[in-house]
């Protein structure tokens, strides 16, 4: 079973393009799990309501942020779970290429944690994402996970990771491009908070001075 997992905040228009690319895949996803962090049900239905697909929507009371959204998918969605940003575009054979790997953790080349497969074996070895690094938003939770993948941390056990050239397109920073000046300032403030949390956890304060 192939489950596409997408947290969406603002770019419901790009979410629609993502789903269109999934529907053109050589192997069709069985389910689409959407976390509606933007809390805009009407926009979500405008984007996806006319597709003949199985959509399962989780509508939290507030924006969960990136780490908590990813953890929700790990906890509630069975394998194979392909976790993607809403601005990802898949090639027809992207899913085939990604899922052909036997690794615990698989990234699409050039995308990092914007398009990845995290299997149960990886969560068992490395744990889930640290929601306290960037609570309610999304910075440095991926870098924190990479520290554990590199063998640091008391819980870490060896996990196999692979980067796969899957032909995935990712324009980057699509949410920021749709943000106001005030929202951009808030993003920068949250980035610095997450950076400080990450540095303190791993003893990297000097590196960020």
Q: What is the pLDDT of residue 146?
A: 92
Cβ pair 116, 80 in contact under 8 A:
no
User: Which pLDDT tens digit goes with each residue over 133-185?
Assistant: 998 888 999 999 999 888 765 555 678 999 999 999 988 665 556 667 787 78
User: Which pLDDT tens digit goes with each residue over 196-209?
Assistant: 999 999 999 888 87
What secondary structure letter does DSSP report for 4? E
Name the percent of the chain lying above pLDDT 90.
Answer: 78
Cβ pair 25, 94 in contact under 8 A:
yes
In Å, what is the CA distance from 121 to each residue of 9, 153, 192? 29, 17, 32
| Burial status of residue 201 (CB atoms within 10 A of its CB: 0-12, 13-18, 19 or more) | middle
What secondary structure letter does DSSP report for 206? G
Q: What is the pLDDT of residue 50?
A: 95
Instruction: Specify the pairing of strand 112-118 against strand 55-58.
Output: unpaired
Q: What is the pLDDT of residue 155?
A: 53
Average pLDDT over residues 5-19: 96
Say how far apart CA 147 and CA 134 lie, in whole Å.
Answer: 16
89: β partners: 169
How confident is residue 186, by pLDDT bands cut at 50, 70 and 90?
A: confident
Q: What is the pLDDT of residue 176?
A: 55
Cis preceding linkage at 80, omega within 30: yes
pTM score, whole prediction: 0.92
Cβ pair 56, 31 in contact under 8 A:
yes
Q: Identify the helix (H) or strand (E) that includes residue 19.
A: helix 12-23
């Amino acid at each position: 079973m192939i489950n596409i997992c997408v947290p969406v905040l603002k770019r419901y228009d790009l979410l629609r393009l993502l789903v269109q690319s999934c529907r053109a895949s050589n192997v069709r996803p069985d389910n689409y799990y959407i976390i509606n962090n933007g809390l805009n049900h009407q926009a979500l239905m405008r984007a996806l309501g006319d597709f003949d697909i199985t959509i399962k929507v989780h509508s939290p009371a507030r924006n969960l942020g990136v780490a908590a959204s990813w953890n929700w998918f790990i906890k509630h969605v069975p394998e194979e779970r392909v976790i993607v940003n809403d601005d990802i575009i898949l090639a027809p054979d992207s899913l085939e290429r990604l899922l052909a790997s036997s690794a615990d953790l698989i990234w699409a080349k050039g995308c990092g944690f914007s398009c990845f497969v995290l299997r149960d074996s990886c969560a068992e070895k490395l744990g889930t994402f640290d929601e306290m690094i960037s609570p309610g938003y999304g910075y440095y939770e991926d870098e924190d996970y990479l520290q554990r993948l590199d063998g640091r941390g008391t819980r870490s056990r060896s996990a196999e990771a692979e980067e796969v050239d899957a032909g995935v397109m990712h324009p980057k920073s699509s949410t920021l491009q749709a943000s106001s000046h005030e929202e951009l300032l808030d993003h920068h403030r949250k980035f610095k908070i997450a950076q400080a949390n990450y540095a303190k956890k791993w003893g990297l304060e000097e590196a960020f001075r």
